Amino acid sequence: MSNDPKSRDEALAQLAWQVEAGIDEALEETPVMRYGPAASEQPDAQPEPRSAPHQPSPALAPPPDRPRQEPAAPVAADDARASAHALAQSARDLEALRAILQDFDGCALKATAMNLCLADGNPEARAMIIGEAPGADEDRQGKPFVGRAGQLLDKMIGAIGLTREQVYITNLLFWRPPGNRTPTPAETAVCLPFVERQIELVGPEVLIFAGGASAKTLLRTTTGIMRLRGRWARYEHEGLSQAIPALPTLHPAYLLRRPAEKRLAWRDLLTLKAFLDGKEQAQI
Ligand code: URA
């Protein structure tokens, strides 16, 4: 905000406008003036560095009474995707993949996220769970599924005798979308080569797609999760020597809102358990 004294109503209206735009978290100790001289030209206006990989604050869209600044020319989606693919394929192992993502600037979400949120659990696991995108807790801790949805996920896998250390957990996107907004197709597309490479490097026996975003993107379908869930699907992409059985199920965040649907997720979990126990073959 400017140094001009503002009436309380004006200040509240500006805050409400920011919240509506999805800006619901303070990322820096001090505000950053985006419309005057650059921060580097203001000796006292440098934000405190963060402990996480430091990124510039999100460019706040101007309030309605100010002219809109032209954004920097976006990287063409195809170029970004191609470069993401080449980088992802260059990763020899999961550690290298993480290092590449730490340096990767091709996904705009990185600019507003606190931390890279890549994966948790066991890279040797037989089952790999893929959710959608980190939320606020995941962003703070740099680990997927550690908030309320994650606690429910722990209980769900616990119900079939699995701990978090016995599965590998990741997301379609590795940085939190601001205000938990839906990721854009471009953001999803640019992260996809890294998801695919992760699947290649982990080489799980079974994939669990938690929620519609993950299931639809990875199965390249527009069919809704209610029709996909609980049915074995064939997951394949060019880097895999053979298809992997995939089981779409309901997202734990959805189950928190619709607890009555847990019975459906329970059925899916039993299907997964039967597969892992060698009692059921995946029909793919
Ligand atoms: N929802 C997701 O899809 N992933 C997380 O890591 C947390 C919540």
Could you please report the per-residue DSSP string of 65-111? Answer: TSPPPPPPPPPPHHHHHHHHHHHHHH-SSHHHHHHHHHH----GGGG
- The set of protein residues with a Cβ atom below 6 angstroms from ligand 1 is 131-135, 138, 144-145, 147, 149-150, 171, 253
Question: What's the pLDDT tens digit per position in 30-86?
Answer: 555 544 444 333 333 333 332 333 333 443 343 444 444 444 444 457 888 999 999
Pick the atom of ligand 1 nearest to 145's CA. 6
> What is the percentage of the chain residues whose pLDDT exceeds 70?
77
Q: Output the CA 50–ligand 1 centroid distance in Å.
A: 23
Using N-to-C axis directions, what is the helix angle for 185-202 and 212-219, rounded to 10°? 80
User: Would you say the C-alpha torsion 259, 264, 265, 270 has a positive or negative sign?
Assistant: positive
The pTM of the full predicted model, rounded to 2 decimals, is 0.76
Is pLDDT above 80 for 184? Answer: yes
- Mean pLDDT along residues 167-183: 97
Q: Output the CA 191–ligand 1 centroid distance in Å.
A: 15
Question: What's the pLDDT tens digit per position in 122-160?
Answer: 999 999 999 999 999 999 999 999 999 999 999 999 999
Question: What's the pLDDT tens digit per position in 251-273?
Answer: 999 999 999 999 999 999 999 99
Q: Output the CA 213–ligand 1 centroid distance in Å.
A: 11
Q: Output the CA 54–ligand 1 centroid distance in Å.
A: 22
**Residue owning the nearest CA to atom 7 of ligand 1:** 145
Q: Output the CA 212–ligand 1 centroid distance in Å.
A: 12
